[in-house]
Amino acid sequence: MHDPDVLIQHYLEDCLTADEAAALHDLLLQDRALADRLLSHLNLDAMLRQPQPNAEASTPLLSLLPTEDAPAAPLPRPRRFSFSTLTSVAALAACITLTTTWVLNSFIGDPSDEEDTSAAVAVLARGVGLQWRSQAHATGTPLSPGWLQLESGLAEIEFYNGARVTLQGPADLQLISSKEARCDRGKLSAHVPPQAKGFRIHTPQGTIVDLGTDFGLDLSSPQPQVHVFKGEIELHSADTAMLSLKEGQARALEDVSQSMPADAAAFASLSDLSTRTEETQRLQFEDWLTRSAGQNDDPALLLRLDFQDRSDTRTLRNHAKHAAEIPAASIVGCSWTQGRWPGKRALEFRNISDRVRLSIPGEVAALTLTASIRINSLDRNFNSLFMVEGFQDGAVHWQITREGKLRLGIAGRQEKRNRDYDSPPLFKPELFGQWMHLATVFDPERKAVTHYLNGQVIAIVAMPEPFPLRLSVAELGNWNDTRQAVPIRHFSGALDEFTLHKRALSAQEIAQMCP
């Protein structure tokens, strides 16, 4: 902390540093009395340095010039800076400091600007009937190096170099890099386009190097085999010389002398996967239609939007049979898109104007919110799911933070203060683009807020003494703060189902809502 008197003295003595000048400048802007004190010192200093008339007259001009016998007389002290000049110099010094900081940061980087990173090398593009022995993965999940242990089903894995592998369970596949994997068990087929040439799959019997082709690998039979459907591959092993196999050829891996014709019908093709995927999606959609119709009869259901409405109406019908007083929702700006399955509709939220307007009068003691969403990005500090207008008197705010936390915010009322009930960070970029089912339960009896992701409990947060929650006018995917300048909190993604119950749903009930 700089002493103002010391700064003034240094200024009068012409020894003020750039740092001190910046400090003095800031102090002068904050304290008018200090500025008056500095001007007073300047006036006094000027009077003391003013030469007397007689003394000035008795000093000839030539005496100021150097001679052979004497050095030059001291030159008169130059005029000091004015107050306005001082502030300009101080401001310039501050700019120099900021510029220096910017130049240094351009070389060493600012830790606060570090980018998110990902170790993923592939993505689970599609899946049918997936049962995992290792960690379960949903379709669309980026995959990092490690083992995929598939108990049953078909999984299509797209490597970042462009190679595409269809894995048939039971199978064990280790992802090594974006252009390399190891298979110890099971059956797979691979499509390797020209840009992925050199893709490798290691096996206990050797390594397959693809030269841009389609091939199948069967390690599930008593006699492991590789079949080339198109193009060419190389077989490398420690015991034999490299062997080239071309279209229509197949070999036993443990005895490469055993030749046989390639049999594409023995392996799941991409068309097989597409057919089975379409059938699975159709059955999931039909199952959802049946289950969701039964949910409409719940007396505690205040609002259920299924997003299967006609696009020309720009409204969403409320399917809750016991809440006739709650009107249809109004669509503002959003555009229609495909939901979780073909035939399932959804609304896309892109712009700051996109929203769905709701009117839910009254108060509730308990609350359950559920939604099926697909996140495109989390660009804002707060990304709205369901938010009551304003934030006072028990208003409910359900949103996702920039850090990926699912948050239930409750506005205080009377002597109660505002409360935020957060989950741990969940929604990383690896989950963007995937359909997810979210649920949050406000349970006054348990005095807890519980968050769910895809039917699984992800956080239980204790609450203090609960109080009634206010609903009123609200929005999906956006927020109206009723002020002229409203913070931007719109959701970037898609929504294809939303429910609101005035009771705390059980974990089993929420799990049954997930596909």
pLDDT at 77: 46
**Cβ contact 167:150 at 8 Å:** yes
Chain position carrying tokens 């691979």: 190
Question: Who's near 204: CB < 8 A, 6+ residues apart?
Answer: 184, 219
pLDDT at 88: 52
Angle between helices 18-30 and 32-49 (to 10 degrees): 120
pLDDT at 29: 72
For residue 264, give both structure tokens. 């594409």
- For residue 291, give Cα distances in angstroms to 118, 287, 295, 497: 37, 6, 7, 13
Asked whether the predicted pLDDT for residue 109 surpasses 80, the reply is no
pLDDT at 24: 75
pLDDT at 206: 92
Mean pLDDT computed over 279-303: 90
pLDDT at 114: 65
pLDDT at 258: 81
**CA–centroid distance for 447 within its chain:** 30
pLDDT at 107: 46
* 71-80, 249-258, 372-381: least confident range: 71-80
Count CA within 13 A, CB hemisphere, residue 7.
21
**Cβ contact 209:233 at 8 Å:** yes
pLDDT at 46: 55
Residues of the chain with pLDDT > 90, as a percent, come to 56
**CA–centroid distance for 252 within its chain:** 47
Question: Who's near 165: CB < 8 A, 6+ residues apart?
Answer: 156, 157, 159, 173, 181, 188, 189, 190, 191
Asked whether the predicted pLDDT for residue 98 surpasses 60, the reply is no
Selected residue with higher pLDDT from 239 and 442: 442
Chain position carrying tokens 């931007």: 488
pLDDT at 44: 56
**Cβ contact 189:165 at 8 Å:** yes
Question: Which CATH number, 1.20.1250.20, 3.40.640.10, 2.60.120.200, 2.40.37.10, labels domain 281-512?
Answer: 2.60.120.200
- For residue 483, give Cα distances in angstroms to 352, 389, 401, 479, 486: 16, 10, 22, 11, 6
Mean pLDDT computed over 418-424: 95
Torsion angle, CA of 328/330/334/339, rounded to 10 degrees?
0
Asked whether the predicted pLDDT for residue 275 surpasses 60, the reply is yes
Question: Who's near 16: CB < 8 A, 6+ residues apart?
Answer: 7, 10, 24
For residue 271, give both structure tokens. 């068309």
Give the whole-angstrom CA distance, residue 69 versus residue 67: 5
122-268 belongs to which CATH class? mainly beta
pLDDT at 45: 54
- Do domains 122-268 and 281-512 share one topology? The answer is yes
Selected residue with higher pLDDT from 183 and 64: 183
Mean pLDDT computed over 119-148: 91
Q: What are phi and psi of 125, to 5 degrees?
A: -75, -45
CA angle 170, 173, 179 (to 5 degrees): 150
Asked whether the predicted pLDDT for residue 273 surpasses 50, the reply is yes
Asked whether the predicted pLDDT for residue 86 surpasses 90, the reply is no
Asked whether the predicted pLDDT for residue 431 surpasses 50, the reply is yes
For residue 30, give both structure tokens. 């904050």
Asked whether the predicted pLDDT for residue 390 surpasses 90, the reply is no
How many CB atoms within 10 Å of residue 233? 27
Domain residue ranges of the chain, discontinuous segments joined by +: 4-59+80-109, 122-268, 281-512
Chain position carrying tokens 């609903």: 471
pLDDT at 438: 98
For the stretch 12-56, pLDDT in tens is: 666 777 777 777 777 777 776 776 677 666 655 555 445 444 434
Asked whether the predicted pLDDT for residue 243 surpasses 50, the reply is yes
Q: What are phi and psi of 18, to 5 degrees?
A: -65, -40
Q: Can you give the pTM of this predicted structure?
A: 0.68
Asked whether the predicted pLDDT for residue 347 surpasses 60, the reply is yes
Asked whether the predicted pLDDT for residue 470 surpasses 80, the reply is yes
Give the whole-angstrom CA distance, residue 432 versus residue 410: 27
